[in-house]
Amino acid sequence: MKAQEQLGMRIKFLRKQLRWSQEDLALNANINKNYISDLENGRRNPSLDILERIAIAFNITLAELFKGVESIPGI
């Protein structure tokens, strides 16, 4: 699985832990709701700015946002 797909799954997991909809996350991170959907489905490669906004919305560090996300060489 690609790192961006893993990151999308991680964002979705964190969002659901807070019982937030994609719209809730979008509002809290000042990001378009459709972009959140694309992120969670591994269709976007987010910028550092977007990742920082998501981490701030979740009240976690960037390191915590990436917890469990690995890139597998050659895949």
| Digit-coded pLDDT (tens) for 4-47 | 899 999 999 999 999 999 999 999 999 999 999 999 999 999 99
pTM of this structure? 0.88
- 8, part of any domain: yes
- 26, part of any domain: yes
Number of domains in the chain: 1
- 73, part of any domain: no
Provide the residue range defining the domain that includes 52: 3-65
CATH number for the domain that contains residue 14: 1.10.260.40
- 72, part of any domain: no
Query: What single string gives the DSSP state of each residue in 25-55?
Result: HHHHHT--HHHHHHHHTT-----HHHHHHHH
- 44, part of any domain: yes
- 59, part of any domain: yes
